Amino acid sequence: VEPATLHILCRTMEAATDLLQVAITCGFRESGISLSSSQKIMVAVRTTSNSMEAPLVHRCTLLATEAHLTHLVEEGNRRLRSNLATLDRFEQALLHGERSLGSSSQRQAQDGAAGSALI
């Protein structure tokens, strides 16, 4: 299970800082701000809290029993639901303006890249 990662290009450092606070509050604990050499301000919204890895095969030999595979699928589904709930909290926080996103106050314009937005 891979948790969601969003990269959001921000117009100002103030907007980036506000967006980062919303992301962290909603459960994206490993989020941060990156500054490029061209002065672009990017917020990476991410967390690893619901990731899941488990070896299942080694040298063409199945390592897990059917019961273990069933457990892994159930746990993976639980973590996926948790990831979706975290994304939903983040979306609702942005839509309802729980924090002002700098002076732009929630202006968004798609910059054409998948998974990216300009705030």
Average pLDDT of span 54-60: 93
Residue 104 has pLDDT above 50, yes or no: no
Task: Give which of 43, 27, 24 is closest to 35, Cα–Cα.
Answer: 43
pTM equals: 0.73
Query: What's the pLDDT score for residue 105?
Result: 37
Residue 114 has pLDDT above 90, yes or no: no
Instruction: Note the Cα 29 to chain centre separation in Å.
Output: 9
pLDDT tens per residue across span 63-84: 999 999 999 999 999 999 999 9
Return the structure tokens found at 92: 């609702």
For 28-61, what is the HEC assignment?
CCCCEEEECCCCCEEEEEECCCCCCCCCCEECCE
- The single residue listed with the structure tokens 């990216």 is 116
Query: What's the pLDDT score for residue 108?
Result: 39
